[in-house]
Amino acid sequence: MIKMKTMKSTIKILKIGGSIITDKNRSALARPDEITRVANEVASSPEDLVLVHGAGSFGHIPAQRYGLPHKFNPTGLQRTHSCVARLNQMMVDALDKEGANPMPVHPLSCVVLKGGRIERFCTEPILEMIRHSLLPVLHGDVAMDMIDGASIVSGDQLVSHLARALKAQVVAVGTNVDGVIFQGEPLFELAREDLMQISESLKGSSGVDVTGGMRGKLLELLDLADSGIDSIIFNAGKKGQIEKALRGEPIGTAVRRSR
């Protein structure tokens, strides 16, 4: 008989940016060594964890090629999803080798958008996975849209929605920089009232990105902070940082509710 653990209020949401596990400037080019390293670090703290990874060049480049999300394109929809699902399987395979009990979760099959924003998200299977000591692994994806036919749901929007729905205690967003950079240095913390001061220094992704780069990421996390859930933006490209982030150590930039 399968034993089901009692849910605890220690759920963690970890996002690994596509810039860590892919070359965002070259179509569908993964970084196998980084995928393996990330899987090893994640596997050290998999309990009550939900992992979301960016689509990187597996998603952004085909989406741009087919004009997504600006026009409905069934061929582009299918091919973009196929690419991001392939990257997701690479991540799941690496985590499986580390004994993390990963399970792929494709947003195309469980998310409905309205004007590019999540309208409905079937999170019950994710909760059951956590309850049975499995590691849900989601990714940036295309999704059906009630207004536009189809659109793109970023990993950052998934993180923000899941953190609220699951009442996450730790929310960590891993990028290829040391946090939110202002005047050449990472900020220790950031709240909404600081946004105007630093907005000119915020830049988009260094590669092709159809979801808003750092600016889009920060806006999602500030909305999350407004709902009472703080988060951090940290450098997941540095060995050991993922484990520190999952332990709740003060690394990178803390995105906090207004002071």
- Name the average pLDDT for the chain: 90
What's the token pair of residue 100? 């993390």
> 126: alpha, beta or left, given left = phi > 0 and alpha = psi -120 to 50?
alpha
Instruction: Express each pLDDT in 180-228 by its tens digit.
Output: 988 889 999 999 988 888 876 665 555 544 455 788 889 999 999 999 9
**What pairing do the DSSP bridges indicate for beta strands 102-104 and 189-190?**
unpaired
**pTM > 0.75:** yes
Instruction: Return the minimum-mean-pLDDT range out of 18-22, 30-34, 61-65, 214-218.
Output: 214-218
Angle between helices 32-43 and 74-97 (to 10 degrees): 60
**Class of domain 12-255 (CATH, top level):** alpha beta
State which of 69-73, 77-81, 177-181 shows the largest mean pLDDT.
77-81
Residue 1 has pLDDT above 50, yes or no: no
Burial 32-59 (b: 16+ CB within 10 A, else e): eebbbbbbbbbbebbebbbbbbbbbbbb
Give domain limits for the chain.
12-255
